[in-house]
Chains A and B, each alone.
Chain A
Amino acid sequence: MRYLPLTPEDRKDMLAVIGAASVDALFDDVPEAARLKGPVDLPRRATELEVERAFTAMAGRNLSASTAPFFVGAGAYKHHVPATVDHLIQRSEFLTSYTPYQPEISQGTLQTLFEFQTQVALLTGTDVANASMYDGSTACAEAVLMACRITKRQRAVLSGNLHPHYAEATRTLAKYMDIEIEAAAAVPGGLDAVSDAITDDVACVVVQNPDVFGQVHDLGPLAEAAHAKGALLIAVFTEVVSLGLVESPGAMGADIVVGEGQSLGVGLQFGGPYVGLFACRNDRNFIRNLPGRLAGETVDADGRRGYVLTLSTREQHIRRDKATSNICTNSGLMALAFTIHMTLLGAAGLRTMARLNHERACQMADRLAALPGVEVLNSAFFNEITVRLPKPAAGVVEALAAKGVLAGVPASRLYLGKGLDDLLILAATETNTDSDLDALEAGLKEVL
């Protein structure tokens, strides 16, 4: 087997040194009845070429985003990632290293995490950020738990326009922790009634911006309403590129900001691995309650600047059942990809990229609005909009897919049985061309 360097002679010599009669003897502690005598019922080893053939065949049964006019968003977005990013994250020293527990030989990972934390804080308009979470949805759920710890309250209210997967992940994580989760009803293209649900016992309000329907909101009034009741505002985003054009959640009054970083550096990858961004204001109590890893600056024995994982008394490997979260592995390599892409862009590039996204979405909105029977629901949006179609969107999307056009996400896929069957959520990015819009428009004309 090509990955196993031991030869039969090596094995024999090593057994002699160990003083064992056979490899089987090393498994003597396994109960006799549970020892398999031969290989399990699965195919035997395969060559590289055989594996490549099998994978290529499976991959060929998928329609990849770059081969179709593509307007799918709702939590994951197609953006162009510079080739430099993928090259750098495949450097052995980044790809094949572990969590940086030994800082003397992990400064590469630690310094990039420190850069990542700073970039996330700047982007979100907050003060500090952690070294990443699994993804946006788990970051959202952990933010709710953190808000409950900080406020010592056990109730959270969610906007109805929060991505339903995020809402479900939050409900699930809170389910057995005596935390009550209340959610407002969705209001596509508008503002839901979450503000009315804020009472004195609410730990936090969770709102997404732009929301799952693409609508952009001023979070200021909601922040005020939350703070007036002693609750925290948790702002969520699924499209990090929006932060290059839309006012930052921190500036609008959010206390904790979480979101998905997939748009920068990571790629679509059918939903994972992605990278959860987690940031908050600079408050001792907040920082002590953060989940996950934190990289911090210090000096080495020569007085030279260096970085370490820090404040680990919050974490499971030290605090065990008193930890702020059970998270151990985070999304290190995806955080690196994010940071490299962000470094290539800089604020100037991010602003341009955000503008290009918005302008494409404006063109898309105008062309869809001109179609008979199609209504654009958004008054303010970034790169994603929701339209009402004259028939169920799921069938329309399937019919367009058959024509090779990936036209977006039917709202019913996220809100099953909630009466939103005629709504279609579409995203446009800098990767869309004029001919993509032509194909979308022509396809919809035929299908509707």
Chain B
Amino acid sequence: MAMNTQGRPSRPLHTHDAGAYTDTFSGSRGLDQAEPLIFERGRVDVTGVDLPEPTGAALRIGGLERTAEIGLPGLAEPETMRHYVRLSRKNYAIDLGLYPLGSCTMKHNPRLNEKMARLPGFGDIHPLQPQSTVQGALELIGELAHWLMVLTTTPWVAMSPKAGAHGELCGMMAIRAALDARGETGRRRVLVPESAHGTNPATAVQCGFFCDEIPADATGRVDMAAFKAKLGPDVAAIMLTNPNTCGLFERDIKEIADLIHEAGGYFYCDGANFNAIVGRVRPGDLGIDAMHINLHKTFSTPHGGGGPGSGPTVFSQALAPFVPVPYVVREGETWRLVEHEHEAEGQPFGRMVAFHGQMGMFTRALSYMMSHGSDGLRQAAEDAVLNANYVLARLRHVMTAAFDGTCMHEALFDDRFLKGTGVSTLDFAKAMIDEGYHPMTMYFPLVVHGAMLIEPTETESKASLDRFCDTLEGLALAAQAGEAERFTAAPRHAPAKRLDETRAARTPVLRWSPPEDQPQAAE
């Protein structure tokens, strides 16, 4: 028997069935600690913050004091720390491993950027301080705007949109304003490829447009014949993602731009996949009129479990007069914020948000961009494309690639390789969890059956990609060898087994309630 130097056994003494004791008395499973809600742990009379004692002076709130119990529990600081650290360990993260969510661009988040955003001169300034006291902040916004305009070769950028979808709204509202300024009340049809992100049609509708879907051709790109047939005097714009959500560059993009312009419409480009071409292709050269840039994708500001994002939107000369307030302008050595519509030179369509945009994301993105420089950004795009193509090349003999040829920054597979195995795309994805990977994007884009969209990003090493490809190869062969249960029972090694989403939607429980009040929530 193997023994260590203290005479303690260094390997298990018995090899009996481990399944006999899967339940624990504590509910925890080793490092996976069971953790109740704060409402079950905390007490409403406990606080984890030391504050001075109020004087108890008379209130001057018009007799509107909140006297009823608020019911919010507090926890002492060590308890708070432990609660959230325990919860954090139930999450997958890019810092833990490859996170191949296609179209989401989960790449390394440099901590230098976090440090820069927290400099008191950026993190601890108020948006309505006198402009003379925030010249450095306005300069940073102006500098980031400059980088974005050069990288896209466009003459203007609106910095205030709060996320990608908000940037789409910014772009489409500018298009609507431009049409209104032309007196074009009949142009309300927006052409959207069926492979588009759901935000595209949702955005178009919020601008008073309606959507008309363009089918994809056999190569996964816009069907040009169908596109041409849809052009007419009622077309306001096309919303096109490029590279598209199949991970493919739209070869006919210049012709698309020319045709939509000839037809009197505008070209909105969804810039969610700009990371594939940054530094190598400038969208302005392709004829776009507006494009949002997800700073949290291309320029690596952290996704934070679902935000915050940031969606600066670049514009062509045709749309520049309609961009919203606020924006910064440089006057000699001084930076100035234009905050009101009637101070603006053009005809802004309005204001999208309070204050000036996601400053905390601007600092992080500019730090990332300066670190890379023009040469590093170009290299990042190349490595992103190289990594995706490597995954595609290594896996296409066991998984079925959706389209022939190479791809851009993401590799798209369909579920033909699972046909007859009893394993679905969902099952396959859940088995990846057991292997220590976050699943790829599933069932999107909609143009491919059982889609699996893999975006490795440029921050993966070759060794990391090889381990990942070996794993997926193993899974694909296992599925084809009839090991369906490996997949349908997955995940087995995650903090939670498969969750009942139907139950969650049928009987929604959207908040905690005291035990005596349950069940609650509508329906």
Do residues B83 and A343 form an inter-chain contact, with CB atoms below 8 A?
Answer: yes
The smallest beta-carbon distance between A303 and chain B, in angstroms, is 9
Contacts of A406 in B (CB 8 A): 126, 129-130, 133
Instruction: Kindly provide the distance from the CB of A361 to the nearest chain B CB, expressed in whole angstroms.
Output: 8
Decide yes or no whether B330 CB sits under 8 A from chain A. no
Q: Does residue A148 face the partner (Cβ distance < 8 Å to B)?
A: no
Is B11 on the interface with A (CB-CB < 8 A)? no
B70 to A347, Cβ gap below 8 A? yes
Asked if A334 CB lies within 8 Å of chain B CBs, one says yes
Segment of A152-160, A200-208, A304-312 engaged in the interface with chain B: A304-312
Tell me the bound Cα distance from A5 to B80 in angstroms. 37
Stretch at the interface among B226-234, B313-321, B476-484, B509-517: B509-517
Kindly provide the distance from the CB of B260 to the nearest chain A CB, expressed in whole angstroms: 16
Q: Which residues of B contact A332 (CB under 8 A)?
A: 303-308
Q: Which A residue's beta carbon lies closest to that of B79?
A: A343
Which residues of the other chain, B, contact A296 by a CB distance below 8 angstroms? 504-505, 508-510
Looking at the complex, which of A164-172, A222-230, A440-448 is the stretch in contact with chain B? A164-172
Q: How large is the interface on A (under 10, 10 to 19, 20 to 34, 35 or more residues)?
A: 35 or more
Q: Is the interface of B mostly helix, strand, loop or mixed?
A: loop
Q: Which residues on the A side are within 8 Å of B204 (C-beta)?
A: 321
Whether B486 is near chain A, meaning CB under 8 Å from some CB there, is no
Task: Answer whether residue B54 sits at the interface, using C-beta atoms and an 8 A cutoff.
Answer: yes
Contact across chains for B460 and A45 when beta carbons are under 8 A apart: no
| A91: chain B residues within 8 A (beta carbon) | 84-85, 88
- If A108-B89, A128-B510 are given as contacts, then 15 extra A-B residue pairs at C-beta distance below 8 Å, sorted by A number, are A3-B371, A4-B380, A10-B462, A104-B430, A105-B494, A106-B305, A111-B87, A136-B354, A243-B66, A267-B124, A272-B361, A273-B307, A327-B165, A329-B307, A356-B54
In the complex, whether B359 has a CB less than 8 A from a CB of chain A is yes
Q: State which of B123, B303, B343, B394 has its C-beta within 8 Å of the C-beta of A268.
A: B123
Q: Which residues of B contact A54 (CB under 8 A)?
A: 370
Please choose the segment from B1-9, B13-21, B195-203, B414-422 that sits at the chain A interface, where 4 or more of its residues have CB less than 8 A away: B195-203
Q: Which of the listed residues A43, A270, A283 has the most CB atoms from chain B within 10 Å of its own CB?
A: A270
Report yes or no: B90 in contact with A134, Cβ–Cβ below 8 A.
no
Is A319 located at the chain interface by the 8 A CB criterion?
A: yes
Find out whether the CB atom of A343 lies under 8 angstroms from the CB atom of B104.
Answer: no
Binary per-residue interface labels of chain B (160-197) against chain A in the complex, 1 for a CB within 8 Å, 0 otherwise:
00111110110001001000000000000000000001
B42-A340 in contact (CB<8A) = no
- On whether the beta carbons of A55 and B116 are closer than 8 Å, the reply is yes
Contact residues in A for B356 (Cβ distance below 8 Å): 270-272
* List of A residues within 8 angstroms of B173 by Cβ: 172, 175-176
Q: Does A375 contact B (CB under 8 A)?
A: no
Complex contact B367–A51 (CB within 8 A): yes
Q: In the bound complex, do residue A55 and residue B363 qualify as a contact, i.e. CB atoms below 8 Å apart?
A: yes
Other-chain residue from B43, B57, B127, B139 in contact with A362 (beta carbon distance below 8 A): B57
> A438: CB under 8 A from chain B?
no
Q: Which of B53, B206, B306 contacts A109 (CB 8 A)?
A: B306
User: A48-B371, A270-B137, A295-B510 are known contacts. Are A6 and B462 too (CB-CB below 8 A)?
Assistant: yes
User: Contacts A1-B380, A6-B386 hold; do A14 and B350 have CB atoms under 8 A apart?
Assistant: no
A316 at the interface (CB under 8 A from B): yes
